[in-house]
């Protein structure tokens, strides 16, 4: 992280940071019980509730990084038509999305004339498993609420089928709920060390935060109005004797358009070596939709290079378990067709269903759904059918 990026991010927050540090030093405990009251009093003015009224109502959290800028989660606001923030004083203020990054699930909002109190931005580099952390946010729209916990793991990169950002998360053991996404995670000094991206729906009090360094690195681009998408290639690779062999190619995908075939061995992507599905995913994670990259392949005994125009991961229609899915706001995708006698038809999936979660894990794009069902295992789909939540069981393939 450069000194310039750090200075830009901390800009107007030095005075607030000093106040927070002093407050934490005075916190102590009462009768042997720890108290976070002073930390909350000092940090809460920087935290806001984020409300999206359309096209689908939802609530989340955010925090100020300057007098008129708020950081929150991209998945909360990416398709927002009407967006407001509510500060700790009860002021309800209109906001606009300035920049977004699908690779980190971060978004920057501008709140004109708000005179917000910026948070003090710290570092996650020194966090250790077991360190105390505090989150302040907007669970279930209840307003400024505090949750306390500890760091459960550092450098947690989720599996490639996950729908969230492609970063090395700080894993937290902390009781959070819907509405906390986009909110800040504070360390014992009252400094923001992470941005909450989501929870593990099948776990007990397991949450994931994007390290604050990721925000500091991307903040200049967000302020400049960048809207960065995640890259989509359209291949599934498997490791065979230490090499990345293409098992399938998605029809009409960038890989298909560039002439990649099943059986090809991917040697490198954008000049970086590829030896496994995990390495391919890491290479793609650093790229954005719309970029052109060179792929080096081995086909038979021949080595070849081809240029691939990557597309936006979130915009890809896919076919998965007999469902044809297209992107839909607030969900993983809308079912527009169901193949007869497919797993989806046998499960009772119908056209118009919007898939929101698979085995309790939220999905945010058709590509997520395709990844989640590609293995052929039995899974549970949570769908929205004509506005009503419905659970269907997708049987094992075969």
Catalytic residue among 61, 66, 75, 353: 75
Helix (H), strand (E) at residue 278: helix 277-285
Helix (H), strand (E) at residue 92: strand 92-94
β-pair partners for 49: 61, 86
7, 105: one domain: yes
- DSSP letter at 230 equals B
Interior angle at CA 107, CA 102 and CA 113, nearest 5: 165
Give domain status of residue 363, yes or no: yes
Number of neighbours of residue 157 by Cβ within 10 angstroms: 14
Question: Would you state the structure tokens that stand for residue 35, as one six-digit string?
Answer: 């108290």
Give residue 240's domain range. Answer: 231-313
244, 306: one domain: yes
**Tens digit of each residue's pLDDT (9 = 90 or more) over 216-248:** 999 999 999 988 887 889 888 999 999 999 998
| Residue 34 pLDDT grade (very low, low, confident, very high; cuts 50, 70, 90) | confident
Q: What Rg value do the Cα atoms of the chain yield, rounded? A: 22
Spatial distance between the Cα atoms of 124 and 160, rounded to a whole number of angstroms: 23
Give domain status of residue 90, yes or no: yes
What CATH number does the domain containing 354 carry?
2.30.42.10
Distances in whole angstroms, Cα of residue 368 to Cα of each of 145, 329, 376: 31, 14, 14
Angle, helices 3-10/212-223, rounded to nearest 10 degrees? 80
Question: Would you state the structure tokens that stand for residue 319, as one six-digit string?
Answer: 């076919």
Question: Would you state the structure tokens that stand for residue 375, as one six-digit string?
Answer: 């293995």
284, 322: one domain: no
Average pLDDT of the chain is: 83
CB 75 within 8 A of CB 181: yes
Of 23-27, 57-61, 129-133, the poorest mean pLDDT is in 23-27
330, 268: one domain: no
171, 244: one domain: no
236, 182: one domain: no
Give domain status of residue 123, yes or no: no
Question: Would you state the structure tokens that stand for residue 20, as one six-digit string?
Answer: 């927070």
364, 293: one domain: no
Per this entry, what is the length of the chain?
Answer: 398
Our answer to whether residue 144 is catalytic in this structure is: no
**Tens digit of each residue's pLDDT (9 = 90 or more) over 260-292:** 999 999 999 999 999 998 889 888 878 888 899
Give domain status of residue 262, yes or no: yes
306, 321: one domain: no
Q: Please identify, among 313, 334, 359, the residue that sits at the C-terminal boundary of a domain.
A: 313
Catalytic residue among 181, 229, 268, 331: 181
Helix (H), strand (E) at residue 222: helix 212-223
Give domain status of residue 217, yes or no: no
Q: Please identify, among 291, 313, 335, the residue that sits at the C-terminal boundary of a domain.
A: 313
Spatial distance between the Cα atoms of 155 and 54, rounded to a whole number of angstroms: 35
Give the mean pLDDT of 49-77: 90
17, 90: one domain: yes
Whole-number pLDDT of residue 292 = 93
Give domain status of residue 221, yes or no: no
Our answer to whether residue 105 is catalytic in this structure is: yes
Our answer to whether residue 75 is catalytic in this structure is: yes
What CATH number does the domain containing 67 carry?
2.40.10.10
282, 253: one domain: yes
Question: Would you state the structure tokens that stand for residue 194, as one six-digit string?
Answer: 């992470």
Domain count for the chain, please give it: 4
Give domain status of residue 127, yes or no: no
Give domain status of residue 328, yes or no: yes
Q: pTM value?
A: 0.67
96, 172: one domain: no
Catalytic residue among 87, 105, 353, 371: 105
Using the structure block, give the residue that is written with the tokens 């789909």. Answer: 381
Q: Are strands 292-299 and 302-309 parallel, antiparallel or unpaired?
A: antiparallel
């Amino acid at each position: 992280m450069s000194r310039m990026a750090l200075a830009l991010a901390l800009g107007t927050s030095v005075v607030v940071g000093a106040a927070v540090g002093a407050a934490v030093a005075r916190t102590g405990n009462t009768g042997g019980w720890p108290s976070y009251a002073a930390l909350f009093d000092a940090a809460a003015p920087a935290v806001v509730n984020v409300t999206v009224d359309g096209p689908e109502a939802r609530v989340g959290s955010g925090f100020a990084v300057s007098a008129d800028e708020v950081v929150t989660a991209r998945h909360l606001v990416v398709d927002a038509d009407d967006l407001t923030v509510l500060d700790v004083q009860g002021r309800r203020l209109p906001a606009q999305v300035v920049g977004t990054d699908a690779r980190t699930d971060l978004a920057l909002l501008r709140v004109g004339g708000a005179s917000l109190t910026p948070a003090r931005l710290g570092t996650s580099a020194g966090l250790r498993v077991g360190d105390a952390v505090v989150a302040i946010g907007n669970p279930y729209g209840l307003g400024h609420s505090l949750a306390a916990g500890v760091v459960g793991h550092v450098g947690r990169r989720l599996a490639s089928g996950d729908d969230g950002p492609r970063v090395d998360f700080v894993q937290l053991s902390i009781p959070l709920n819907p509405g906390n996404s986009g909110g800040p995670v504070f360390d014992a000094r009252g400094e923001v060390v992470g941005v909450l991206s989501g929870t593990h729906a099948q776990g007990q009090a397991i949450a994931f935060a994007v390290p604050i360094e990721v925000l500091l690195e991307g903040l200049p681009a967000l302020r400049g109005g960048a809207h960065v998408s995640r890259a989509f290639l359209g291949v599934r690779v498997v490791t065979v004797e230490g090499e990345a062999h293409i098992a399938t190619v998605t029809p009409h995908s960038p890989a298909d358009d560039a002439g990649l075939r099943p059986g090809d061995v991917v040697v490198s992507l954008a000049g970086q070596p590829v030896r496994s599905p995990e390495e391919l995913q890491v290479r793609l994670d650093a790229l954005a939709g719309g970029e052109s990259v060179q792929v080096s392949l081995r086909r038979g005994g021949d080595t070849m290079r081809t240029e691939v125009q990557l597309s936006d991961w979130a915009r890809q229609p896919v076919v998965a378990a007999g469902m044809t899915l297209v992107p839909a706001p607030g969900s993983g995708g809308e079912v527009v067709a169901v193949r007869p006698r497919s797993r989806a038809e046998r499960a009772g999936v119908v056209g118009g269903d919007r898939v929101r979660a698979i085995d309790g894990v939220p999905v945010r794009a058709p590509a997520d759904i395709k990844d989640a069902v590609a293995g052929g295992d039995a899974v549970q789909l949570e769908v929205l059918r004509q506005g009503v939540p419905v659970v269907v069981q997708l049987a094992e393939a075969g």
